[in-house]
A and B are shown apart, each in its own frame.
Chain A
Amino acid sequence: MSAPTENPEKKDVNKNLVYSYTKMRKEFGRQERCLQDHFRIHANVKPLQKYRKLVVKKTVVDRDVQAAPGVCVNEMNTIRAEYAEFSGLHEEGGWPKDINMNDPEMIQRHRKKLEKEDAFTIAVPLMADEMEELIKNNNTINFYRSAFSCDSIIAPDRELVPTATVVNVYKNPANRPRRVSRITFAPENIGRMAVAQCPYEFDPSLRQHAGEAFFWEIENPTRPEGMIRAGSPITDVRYHPKDLHTIVGSLFTGQVATWDARVSPNPQLVSTYETSHTDVCTTALWINSKTGCEFFSSGLDGQVIWWDERNLSQTLDTLWCDPEKGQGRPEFAHGATVLEYEHTLPTKFLAGTDRGNVMVFMKKGKSPSERMIHMYKAHKGPVMACHRNPMFIKNFLTVGEYHIRIFAEDCKESSIMWTVPAETRYADANWLINRPSCFIACRNDGVLEWWDLLIRGGNNIMQMKVCDEALTAVCAADTGKHIAVGSIHGDVRFIQMSDLMSDFDKGEKPMLAAVFDRESRREKYLEQRNREIRLKKRDLEKQEAIQKKLEEDEAAERKALGLPDIEGMDPIQVKGMKIRQEVARNPIIQAEREFFISIDEEIRTKGIDAFPDKKVAKKKKSEDGDEHQEGGAVNITAADLAALDFHEDEQGADEGKPEAPPAAPEATPSQTAAAPLPPQSTTPSESQLAPPEPPEEEEEEEGEESPADEEAQNEVDEADDEEEE
């Protein structure tokens, strides 16, 4: 390597910092040699002697020189308080030791002995005196009646602000965090709940772990009471409504399995792969049946399968959730995410699909066409939950991406009530058992919302941030005062609500019924109106189609008649053309036309002799003379000819006058308004076609002036007549 040269150009730019090494090309590729004389001192700052005296040697050093921050590992956790319940047995106390409590004789004797003591005999009358005072007081006057008019200040019945607190946390007993997919409570208010945990993420590593579902006793949050296990994660777990120990669960692989909780955590029976769902099995529910052993399950493949718990290798019945009514085609089926079945309404059940529709099915349909009763369009994303109201089973709520909707079965077009879009997605919602106007919904940001239809319909009455992670499942406990909510880490929190949300008076039931009724009626009106609008629209379209067809026919006709095409003419001309066309078509007008033509002919050929009243005709002729000449075809106006028709007896030939009284046509409303013009339109074949309007207009104007003239003339005539006579 050559000696380091300082690049002269760069020196100017950055004197202090830049230092460049140059290497000659011929030296490339040489083996690197590390030589001792490789280093070069670039700067050497020698210690200044003058400071030497100021240097103090510190022999004891109390600071460590290492430049890294000191860390240490320390873990801390609060002590988990473990509670155990004991009850104490209180025996009767007070008896002296030597007396056996259970021996009545001894007790009696002791009592008698006590009675004989002096103190006793003195004390009792004293006490009795005092007591008598009080008793007499009580008997004379009722101390505790309200003497004042104001309302009692005793605690108000209902607090106005709802509150809720987390009472218990049941931590995920398994190692890995898995979201809670379902929480159910044991029937008959025993105080036990089952939690199914199943991750929905598509993660193959999670699939391989076996799935477990835990049973908890509500009072004991430290340790689950029991557990069931299956080969793959369990998505749904349900107690049998009559038997606490029979449990059915649906698995992630699409199978269903039954357990007997007393016997073992492994399933009693698992359905075979061939008969099960081909995709995740989302819900399994017990059914009211005679045997009490039937349940049905839904899966994301779109099937709903009925099973008998005793034999899971065969299915009792299957149904495909095809959105089209009357069809049960597997290719078109929507995956079913939730099922809802109400024991009091055993013939129908609801299925929510992953496309956001809710389908109502009849359980015992003879053919696929009778199976699906209706499909409601609920959401744009998958339906996360679908539950009927415990008191009004015709209404059910569905939860989708950002909305909660309430439906009434009768209103098929849309939901009757719905919420404004929330900030995050909803994961689950359910009605409260004790208070059917209230429902709870859990969101993906860890907030639990309470909605009450009677208190405030537009917004939730309370929100509570339960935890930081997303909430995935919620269920109301049978006690009526509690809710269990599950999070994405697998923890379940038990929340106690204030009385506001768990009491339901008798008077509130009709109010809730009124709410539902009102909303469904509103929807029905809207439906009706929509239908009307649609019908009108359809009629309008039909009309337009007819109109269009008519126009086309007319155009064809025009062509046939030889009239020019309408397009390109201004509206007045168009009108004229149309009138001409109508005239050409109408046989009556044709007949009239011919009549007028014939009259015209006669006039021309025979002159006034054509007409009976020669006297008047003569007069008229003498007065007007020769004004009527050629152009005559046009000048013999409609009015003329019309006048001829009606005033034949009186005036005879008014044909002399170029102006014609339009009174005639006006006096005869029976004749069509087109009458003045049609005779004119007879001329188009002869005269020019282009401007039919201006001459018409002229004549009309003239015609209007003439009635006055005509009358004057009549008078003159008569005067003349009289004079003559």
Chain B
Amino acid sequence: MSNNEVEEAIKRIMSHKGVVGLIVINHEGIPIKSTLENSLSVQYAAQVTQMVDKTRSMIKELDNNNDLTFIRLRTKKHEVLVCPEKEYSMIVIQNPIDT
């Protein structure tokens, strides 16, 4: 049941235009759910965890009342969206449309 919600949410995201992949990682950095292949997921997980930590600490140091909501990383090839929560993080890779 709750599982279905999870599945449904993921499917919804994947159905959007331009979405290449999705990864859900826990606080230890293990990719729990992923639509990409394992090695790539692991790489993303490792890199993103570090970056989220770094970014969060930076924001906290600058202003203690502030907090990180999400990270949007635009690269040459695509855009990486990271949504960090308390225990888990979701990473989505999207190819935005060039208008």
Partner of B92, one of A94, A95, A96, A131: A131
Partner of B18, one of A121, A129, A139, A143: A139
Any chain B CB within 8 A of the CB of A132? yes
- Is B30 in contact with A128, judged by CB distance below 8 angstroms? no
Q: How many A residues have CB within 8 A of the partner chain?
A: 35
Give CA–CA (A115, B10) in the complex, Å: 13
Give CA–CA (A142, B19) in the complex, Å: 15
If over half of B's interface residues share one DSSP class (helix, strand or loop), that class is named, otherwise mixed; here it is mixed
Any chain B CB within 8 A of the CB of A263? no
Residues of B within 8 A of A136 (CB): 16
Query: A130's closest neighbor in chain B, by CB?
Result: B83
Tally of A-B residue pairs with Cβ under 8 A? 108
* B-contact bits for A82-115, CB 8 A (1 contact / 0 none): 0000000010111110000000000000110011
Residues of A within 8 A of B19 (CB): 135
- Is A145 in contact with B85, judged by CB distance below 8 angstroms? no
Give CA–CA (A116, B33) in the complex, Å: 12
Any chain B CB within 8 A of the CB of A125? yes
Distance (whole angstroms) from the CB of A690 to the closest CB of chain B: 108
Distance (whole angstroms) from the CB of A490 to the closest CB of chain B: 46
Give CA–CA (A126, B13) in the complex, Å: 12
- Is A128 in contact with B98, judged by CB distance below 8 angstroms? no
Any chain B CB within 8 A of the CB of A124? yes
* A-contact bits for B66-91, CB 8 A (1 contact / 0 none): 00001010100001010101111110
Residues of B within 8 A of A93 (CB): 28-29, 46
Q: Find residues 10-34 in chain B having any chain A CB closer than 8 Å to their own CB.
A: 10, 12-13, 16-19, 24, 26, 28-30, 32-33
Any chain A CB within 8 A of the CB of B3? yes
- Is B88 in contact with A128, judged by CB distance below 8 angstroms? no
Partner of A111, one of B9, B32, B88, B98: B32
Give CA–CA (A322, B90) in the complex, Å: 80
Residues of B within 8 A of A125 (CB): 5-6, 9
Q: Find residues 132-152 in chain A having any chain B CB closer than 8 Å to their own CB.
A: 132, 134-136, 138-139, 141-145
Chain B interface bracket (under 10, 10 to 19, 20 to 34, 35 or more) = 35 or more
Give CA–CA (A139, B15) in the complex, Å: 12
Residues of A within 8 A of B70 (CB): 130, 134
Residues of B within 8 A of A119 (CB): 86-88
Q: A94-B29, A121-B6, A131-B92 are in contact. Are A138 and B85 (CB under 8 A)?
A: no
Give CA–CA (A136, B18) in the complex, Å: 10
Query: A92's closest neighbor in chain B, by CB?
Result: B42
- Is B83 in contact with A135, judged by CB distance below 8 angstroms? no
Q: Write 25 A-B pairs (CB below 8 A) sorted by A numbering.
A: A90-B46, A93-B29, A95-B28, A114-B32, A115-B33, A121-B3, A121-B5, A123-B85, A124-B9, A124-B24, A125-B6, A127-B88, A128-B12, A128-B13, A128-B90, A129-B9, A131-B13, A131-B83, A132-B12, A132-B13, A134-B81, A135-B13, A136-B16, A139-B17, A139-B96
Which residues of B come within 8 Å of A, CB atoms?
2-3, 5-6, 9-10, 12-13, 16-19, 24, 26, 28-30, 32-33, 42, 45-46, 70, 72, 74, 79, 81, 83, 85-90, 92, 94, 96-99
